[in-house]
Structures are given as C-alpha cells and as structure tokens.
Amino acid sequence: MAQQLGAATSEFEKTDRCADLDHRPRVLLGKMGLDGHDRGVKVIARALRDSGIHVIYSGLWQTPASLAVSARDEDVDCIAASMMSNSHLSLAPRLIGELRRLGRSDIPVLMGGILPAEDVPKLKELGVRACFPTGTGLLDVVAAVKSCVVPTGERIEGSHRTAQLARNISLVHDERPIADDTPLRRPKRVIGVTGSPGAGKSTLVAQLAGEYTRRAESDPSLGRCAVVAFDPKSPITSGALLGDRLRVDFNNLGERVFYRSLAIRGEDYHGLDRIVDLIGGAHEGVDDAPFVTVFIETVGAGQNETRVRDHVDRTMVVLTPGMGDAVQMDKAGILEIADLFVCNKADHPGENELVRDLRDVAGRRPIFETIATRGQGVPELLDELLG
C-alpha cells in the first residue's frame, strides 16, 4: 500500500495549484481514535503540500476535542480526519459538536480511512462534508480541500475571542487589514527559540509549554503561554507542511496553550510584531487568563539567520552534539544573538565537548543541558526564562 501511495504522488507537478484562490488553503490533518499508523496520511500531506496547500499535521491518537482546538487556533479551511478503528460514527458527531462549542461550526469536516459504503450516507447526515474511503485518489482529496476555501471575510462566525484571534493572525500574516478597534498589547515575555534543523526545538518548546501550564495552575500570575511556530514555505508551489504542533500533548493541555503554525520563506517575519501584540491583547478586559508569555519558534536556522532577535525579548539558541568543531563557534552569526544556550540531546555522545566549546564563547551567557524527549533540564531552563 505504501508503494502505491508513494507512486501516486508522481501525479503532482511542482507548480502552484492554488494561485487562483482567495487565500492559501489551510487544512488540518489528524488521526482520531486508536489508529497508530500514519504512513498513508503522511503521503497525503506531501501531496497536498505539493499542490500549494498549507498542511497542519496534528499527529496520531487525537481526540475530537484536541482536533477542534487545533482547527480553531490554526484558522483552517477544513479538517481532514482519518481513522481505522471503526469508531467513525461516534467520533464524527463529537468532532462537529466540539467545533460548534468553540465557535467554528463553519469549518467543514472531511473524513477518510476504512469507511464502509453503507456508513457514508450516515456520516453525511451527521454533518461530514465529504468521505474518502479506501481507494480514493489523491487528486480527489486535493480538489475537496480546495473546494472548502471561501473568501476570508466570510469564513468566521460569531465573536468567540480565541477564534477571532486566530482569524486576525491569518489576516495580518496575509497582509490584510484587521478591525481598527482590535486590542493590541505586548505580552510580558517574548522568547525566541532558534537553532539548526533537528536540534529538537519543537520538542523543547512543547515541554516548556507543558511545564509552564502546570506551574500556572498554582500561580495564576503566570497567565497562559502561546507559541508561534514557523516552518518553510516551498519557493515553487508556496505549499508548506506545518508539523511542529504534533509535539504538543493537546489531549492533556486542551485550550490552556494557544499554538499557531505559519509558513514563511527565509527570514520574512513580516507582521510578527503585530501578531505578538494580537496575542497579548486577545483577552484584554475579559475574565480569561491573559497570554503573558509567547514562544517564537523559528525555521531550522543556519549560521547567518539572525533576524528573529529583532522581534523578541530574549533569544534561546538550541544546539546538539556533533554540530561541528570549535572553529564553527568562532564564526559570526547565530551564536552571537543568543541570550542563553541550550545543549539539547545531552545523552548523545559529544555533549561534554559541545559544552566545553560553548563556554569559550558564551561569556556570562548561561548554558543549559536538556534531554527534551524526557523533560530533563526543562524546569531549570524555564526558571531562567521566567526570572
């Protein structure tokens, strides 16, 4: 099956198939229920990306609630949910109900996987826009996602605050106007997280968000934290695969963390300052806890990619063992912008050498050692960031 799916992606030329639409389509891919296989959905994600679509992948074992929160916060045009656990008739109405509760019942739900033919009419009666049983062509999936795109000004309903925040972020990122009376306020802390590809930035940010949320339960003054995560946009199709949020355990965190994925080319952070101010002002004058801290996660950065420093209060550079010899430490660029260093994957060979070399260039800047996959060193790192 995997070979057939892989061969199917050859149908897609590297051209932008979405240039004629009102805005770049955004689709949330998620696996609901106990389905532990994601090879097929990853092929679908690549096909959508190669068609010029922005694909947010939320990972395995999602609940209806976690998918609905992700869809609202990402301001998607549709959800494409897949399952193989024979629970579609119970999970589909729960997902639609959660979207209604969150103020986004207008987001269409597409459903695929092992769907018996006799259940397809039932799913459509429950409110599912389209069904894709086994054997559906990738071009049909692409066409269905594109058909969900409607003009931006007509996509949102009601006045749900977080839904409106997500919409305003879309407008600012697309360089479109927002309402003149939109609250804007700089959060107390804006922390940049950068480093080379594969350094574990997304996992580290997920662990920091989880630790922050646990502390906020006993210390309300911390408020809530938000994450803005950037991933690269194709220079040919303008499509993107935005997968950083799958590191966050939204099944447990729920709505306590606001997470938004955005695609950029290079270091084009246009609108980022206003996006941060939108997050800070989103709950001004209401009873909900405000967003006090915002983490900005960059695309995997090279030595000369330093512009995020212009938009944040503190910059954290994440490194891993094996990044290069000591000469690399002396080169101008990303190491210069760090306010603190994190040596992640501290259980890998070469960690001691990395810390030793860093001490030669860090001066008084602190160095932390973490194993993000285990949460090791994360509490101490957060202590420094909150201090």
Distance, CA of 47 to CA of 241 (rounded, Å): 10
Residue 346 belongs to a domain:
yes
User: Is the domain of 204 the same as that of 137?
Assistant: no
User: Is the domain of 48 the same as that of 107?
Assistant: yes
What is the pTM assigned to this prediction?
A: 0.92
Residue 153 in 3-state DSSP? helix
Residue 33 in 3-state DSSP? coil
Residue 179 belongs to a domain:
no
Beta strands in the chain (DSSP E): 26-31, 54-57, 78-83, 109-113, 130-133, 189-195, 224-232, 240-242, 257-264, 291-297, 314-319, 340-343, 367-369
User: Is the domain of 231 the same as that of 360?
Assistant: yes
**DSSP-assigned letter for residue 342:** E
User: Is the domain of 131 the same as that of 216?
Assistant: no
Task: Judge whether residue 13 has pLDDT over 70.
Answer: no
Instruction: Look at 209-218, 232-241, 281-290 and tell me which has the smallest mean pLDDT.
Output: 281-290
User: Is the domain of 149 the same as that of 199?
Assistant: no
Q: What is the pLDDT of residue 327?
A: 43
User: Sorting pLDDT into bands at 50, 70 and 90, what band is 8?
Assistant: very low
pLDDT digits 0-9 by tens, 85-127: 678 999 999 999 999 999 899 999 999 988 999 999 999 999 9
Q: What is the pLDDT of residue 323?
A: 66
pLDDT digits 0-9 by tens, 215-257: 999 999 999 999 999 999 999 999 999 988 988 888 788 888 9
Residue 166 belongs to a domain:
no
Question: What order do you get walking across the sheet with 26-31 strand by strand?
Answer: 130-133, 109-113, 78-83, 26-31, 54-57, 240-242
User: Sorting pLDDT into bands at 50, 70 and 90, what band is 197?
Assistant: confident
User: Is the domain of 59 the same as that of 131?
Assistant: yes
- What does the pLDDT average to over 301-311? 84
| Domain termination site, one of 104, 137, 154 | 154
User: Is the domain of 231 the same as that of 370?
Assistant: yes
The CATH number that applies at residue 34 is 3.40.50.280
Token code pair at residue 298: 């960059």
Residue 72 belongs to a domain:
yes
- What does the pLDDT average to over 17-37? 84
Task: Judge whether residue 12 has pLDDT over 80.
Answer: no
Q: What is the pLDDT of residue 35?
A: 65
Q: What percent of the chain has pLDDT over 90?
A: 67
Residue 183 belongs to a domain:
no
| Domain termination site, one of 131, 154, 177 | 154
Distance, CA of 162 to CA of 172 (rounded, Å): 15
The CATH number that applies at residue 345 is 3.40.50.300
CB 123 within 8 A of CB 89: yes
User: Is the domain of 196 the same as that of 328?
Assistant: yes
Distance, CA of 358 to CA of 212 (rounded, Å): 27
Q: What is the pLDDT of residue 118?
A: 94
Residue 60 belongs to a domain:
yes
Task: Judge whether residue 296 has pLDDT over 60.
Answer: yes
User: Is the domain of 138 the same as that of 234?
Assistant: no
- What does the pLDDT average to over 270-280? 97
- Domain residues for 294? 189-386
Instruction: Look at 32-36, 67-71, 304-308, 355-359 and tell me which has the smallest mean pLDDT.
Output: 32-36
Number of separate domains in the chain: 2
Average pLDDT over the chain, rounded to an integer: 88
User: Sorting pLDDT into bands at 50, 70 and 90, what band is 144?
Assistant: very high
Q: What is the pLDDT of residue 3?
A: 42
User: Is the domain of 230 the same as that of 302?
Assistant: yes
| Domain termination site, one of 154, 175, 207 | 154
User: Is the domain of 217 the same as that of 360?
Assistant: yes
pLDDT digits 0-9 by tens, 347-379: 999 999 999 989 988 999 999 999 999 999 999
Q: What is the pLDDT of residue 9?
A: 46
Rounded to 5 degrees, what angle do the CA atoms 35, 81, 150 make?
Answer: 170
Distance, CA of 281 to CA of 208 (rounded, Å): 22
User: Is the domain of 224 the same as that of 134?
Assistant: no
